[in-house]
Structure 1
């Protein structure tokens, strides 16, 4: 690197003393009209973790093999890592040719050609050089300049900005500076970004790209960012700088696992591993999904169960190293960012991951979204974040013809039609068998159809908007259905409705007095009103009209918009007495709509839960 750039990348005293690279070194040069950034990574196997951090976001590999040593074990591991990271192009420098004969140089060439067979370097130039006498240096410069021209003409997929931090320091009069390679997207001066696992808000004060001042940094650029809003000592190698709109930390990552052919043993289910993602390092376990073991040279789906949060995106390559042996086990291509699940190996989930694998390899979010939506509702913002899509790309997805958006979710029209038909048929059968029923509650209906609760709620919400199904008093029914309510129940409702229709409905005892009938008789009759969802019983001796409960539910939602709320706040907002407020809130708690924590409550459910 010094011969190419004039810069000695060995910064540490120990590196200069021992004559080997330990940590990352950086240098820059103008070659053929292109500004090229070099990251000098350690070759020794003890510093492989630094090597992996250094190649994050790289577009071209310069593999240096000494003529006097030839291909070393660490050379093989480096090439394996570069291949697992998905590099497509590189150049091979056969160095130190001044130390060997011409015959030995030719022998090394043959050795290297054999070594790189079936790898991305199979057709790479092998350029013999000597940094001592300058042999081949100009040829290497020309080769790298040609490669730089090729990379600069490649079009990258539009994505939001991501940079993996490899260094941070503070400079007097400037402040905090972080460096790294732009993995995706671009950023500009004055952009508002977030840093690290705690999403610290930061602002870009200034930029240097390839060691020169710049107004913006793009994919592949070696970049130094002067940040406002964080101290240098709080920034670590492995932190990510992104836009807050695409943050999606996760500790459960689904991958296509590839085990290296020369890994010396079978990988067992839940083996402890080291996981390297760009410049970050995590501990975790590999949960195999298609069997309990993965042989060397094999591939299969797996979940990485990570001890700390990762900031990965679909399509990101990961390096996985064995916890015990201290060597590279293989790699993982991220295909999904999942919520933890107890049914990891269910046929439906495996089928979904197999289909997502192809879209991940092809980097095709449209195919991924369409396929996922055919099998259930997809949380659209989570999907957008998992692919690191720009807002404009997300809007284009919203316009795809076969998709229906409902609240935060998106469904494929094919799935929606099939599931709506299933719910309709189930309700038709229920109405035929139980003609006096107002309908079926969500949980029971989802169970009858065999669909998850959350998915059922979204499909039914679409059917309600469409007018196929109606929701009344927390029960679903066909839009044209009218329960055969007994005349006696209707007569009772007509009597009590005016008395209940006030901010503070009377208790059963007061209701009996106002109606002039014995309390024991009224207590036997009132449950029929709840059965037909004409009233809702919130406590032993108090009933509300469904519209009143809906209003009280909305009050709770409004109060909880910014923070938890107290009994006093709810009382003041409703004008209802404290004792009755407690009855209402305890009813909310029982229904799973709210959860009490000390003197306050938070919303943990949905509004329709309180009407069932």
Structure 2
């Protein structure tokens, strides 16, 4: 059994604080005003041992004006003790607190009937029957009901035994590794500085860790930390923790903020949620509400999907907030009306940072899958809609679901052949990848039809035509995959589809063969394309580029070409002469080649540019001889 948080709930003056004192020996009323008025105003905390196991008890206020403080305390509970005074029975705040417990999905509930020393057995029996009837309309119909007198210590041993029994049954594993602690109290200690307290909702924190206060994004360090007054080097999920912050003024921190690790969580002003409207309360589309999450209270608007209002039912909605809050997938929240201030509903955060562009129907379908924790189908849908190459990190940024859950879901999709892994980190829908590749090949085919003499297309042109919304990283991953299929080759920034086959096709075209014959017919004299009638040869530039790229011709100077067969003869003659005579002059080259001086100079300068020869005064030498 890991560390548990047990909280009280119930109507004002029903004996919550007295019960906690009887259980733990600690008085959780710490404020002077609380002592004077005899009621809890702030959250109170006390250590409680179940055998050798330390748990925390949270004492929350019951007054209707302090329900928001009750919500702050209830948000971290594992077990709730709903307190009902025997002399009054079920009261308004009993009902509202029960609604909050239900909406926050607190795993375990026990009902404690207090002040039994003030009434007779018949009254206790009647209150017990009323409570059982009340519970039948909730998820806690089988909850234990335990009558006690905190002042007379009647039933306290039985209550402790019931708490221990229920605590041992709780499946409390705190699998969420993401550290976050909603702040519920801030104070200063002379000589130490600012101290914050809260219940750690996930992960763990250590002394000297760097932390961030959200949503203000203040960065600081943990100077020291305590769990129920005991100094520790580490505190973990489920524990009540007091943290001394380094160089942070009290005025810079307040309840409602959240302590987190740097870059783990992003504050949000809108989120997609599952919404449950309480019976008798109608929540309208665009209704302004108070949202309570963690220890914060923020005003916002509810925007329902596909309906104008919801009453006594669950649905999906987007909540747009007036200020930033901190939320992750799976966090529970409460909605209260602006006026009168009553609890009207609540639910679960599904997408804390909704960024998916899709139809309302697709969004509702996705939210349903996330609500049902069907993460495989949810990720399959996201990959299908976004048509992007995702990583575990990018999906985490969108969903704020455990990275381990995301990785396992993606791995299963790959095994089911619903997704394909690209490289070390990328994932894409198999269907989307197939469609994108076919689209790319269709574009290349039509490109070659428009430009029959071209081998290559520009890599960025293909991206602009076929993958305009794909990230650079995603495009690179798909290109690498296509090249792995050996149908696509990349040369610098140029792409070619089935290169060998493409070259063979172009080489057979009449225009290519005609141009090649023209250049070949000019021997070493070379063909100057400016002398040709451009209108008689279509796509001349593309044809010349093809012949040069496939080493059929050489452009020895701008606009002048010689055929490769004549070029090889020229090279052999010059090299052979230099091998015998150590060097060659322009006149000597002109004589052995049988062409004019001007063309000889052009050819020799081309050899220089190729690095094959080097000019020294009026002669040239061969570089590797």
Cα-to-partner distance string for 1:223-257 (whole Å, 9 max, x where unaligned): 11222242233111111112224122222211111
Q: Is the 1:464–1:471 contact (alpha carbons within 8 Å) kept by the matching residues of 2?
A: no
Alignment partners' CA distance in 1, 2:494 and 2:279: 58
Cα-to-partner distance string for 1:72-127 (whole Å, 9 max, x where unaligned): 12211111111111112121110111222211110000000011114343222111
Q: Which of 269, 283, 294 pairs up with 1:278?
A: 294
Instruction: Name 2:427's counterpart in structure 1.
Output: 410
Instruction: Structure 2: give runs of 5+ residues left out of the alignment.
Output: 1-19, 517-527, 535-540, 546-625
Distance 1:187 1:345, change over 3 A: same
Alignment partners' CA distance in 2, 1:133 and 1:431: 94
Alignment partners' CA distance in 2, 1:156 and 1:366: 22
Residue 159 (1) aligns with residue 205 (2): no
Q: Which of 449, 459, 462 pairs up with 1:432?
A: 449
Q: CA RMSD in A?
A: 3.8
Whose radius of gyration is greater, 1 or 2? 2
Instruction: Name 2:64's counterpart in structure 1.
Output: 45
Instruction: Name 2:396's counterpart in structure 1.
Output: 384
Q: Is the 1:320–1:329 contact (alpha carbons within 8 Å) kept by the matching residues of 2?
A: yes
Kindly report which structure 2 residues correspond to 1:444-463, keeping only aligned pairs within 5 A, or say none: 452-454=469-471, 457=475, 460-463=478-481
Residue 197 (1) aligns with residue 211 (2): no
For structure 1, which segment, 464-473 or 253-262, has the greater mean C-alpha deviation from structure 2 after superposition?
464-473
State the SS of the aligned residue for 2:371: helix
Distance 1:398 1:190, change over 3 A: farther
For residue 64 of structure 1, report the CA deviation from its aligned partner. Answer: 0.5
Residue 224 (1) aligns with residue 242 (2): yes
For residue 394 of structure 1, report the CA deviation from its aligned partner. Answer: 7.1
Q: Which of 186, 190, 201 pairs up with 1:168?
A: 186
Instruction: Name 2:49's counterpart in structure 1.
Output: 30
Q: Which of 114, 117, 122 pairs up with 2:141?
A: 122
Q: Is the 1:290–1:345 contact (alpha carbons within 8 Å) kept by the matching residues of 2?
A: no
For residue 432 of structure 1, report the CA deviation from its aligned partner. Answer: 3.2
Alignment partners' CA distance in 2, 1:344 and 1:294: 22
Q: How many residues align?
A: 491
Q: Is the 1:67–1:108 contact (alpha carbons within 8 Å) kept by the matching residues of 2?
A: yes
Distance 1:386 1:348, change over 3 A: closer
Distance 1:399 1:465, change over 3 A: farther
For structure 1, which segment, 11-20 or 426-435, has the greater mean C-alpha deviation from structure 2 after superposition?
426-435
Distance 1:301 1:96, change over 3 A: same
Alignment partners' CA distance in 2, 1:27 and 1:137: 17
Cα-to-partner distance string for 1:532-562 (whole Å, 9 max, x where unaligned): 9xxxxxxxxxxxxxxxxxxxxxxxxxxxxxx
Q: Is the 1:34–1:149 contact (alpha carbons within 8 Å) kept by the matching residues of 2?
A: no
Alignment partners' CA distance in 2, 1:346 and 1:295: 17
Distance 1:17 1:475, change over 3 A: farther
Distance 1:484 1:202, change over 3 A: farther
For residue 464 of structure 1, report the CA deviation from its aligned partner. Answer: 5.2
State the SS of the aligned residue for 1:423: helix
Cα-to-partner distance string for 1:105-153 (whole Å, 9 max, x where unaligned): 10000000011114343222111111222211222222223334444x7
Instruction: Structure 1: give runs of 5+ residues left out of the alignment.
Output: 492-514, 522-527, 533-612
Q: Which of 80, 90, 110 pairs up with 2:99?
A: 80
Instruction: Name 1:311's counterpart in structure 2.
Output: 326
Q: Which of 348, 356, 362 pairs up with 2:370?
A: 356
Alignment partners' CA distance in 1, 2:182 and 2:132: 33
For residue 471 of structure 1, report the CA deviation from its aligned partner. Answer: 6.9
Q: Which of 222, 243, 250 pairs up with 2:268?
A: 250
For residue 52 of structure 1, report the CA deviation from its aligned partner. Answer: 0.6
Q: Is the 2:194–2:249 contact (alpha carbons within 8 Å) kept by the matching residues of 1?
A: yes
Alignment partners' CA distance in 2, 1:280 and 1:408: 36
State the SS of the aligned residue for 1:86: coil
Residue 144 (1) aligns with residue 163 (2): yes
Instruction: Name 2:382's counterpart in structure 1.
Output: 372
Alignment partners' CA distance in 2, 1:424 and 1:154: 53
State the SS of the aligned residue for 2:255: coil
Instruction: Name 2:27's counterpart in structure 1.
Output: 8
Alignment partners' CA distance in 1, 2:96 and 2:316: 23
Residue 177 (1) aligns with residue 192 (2): no
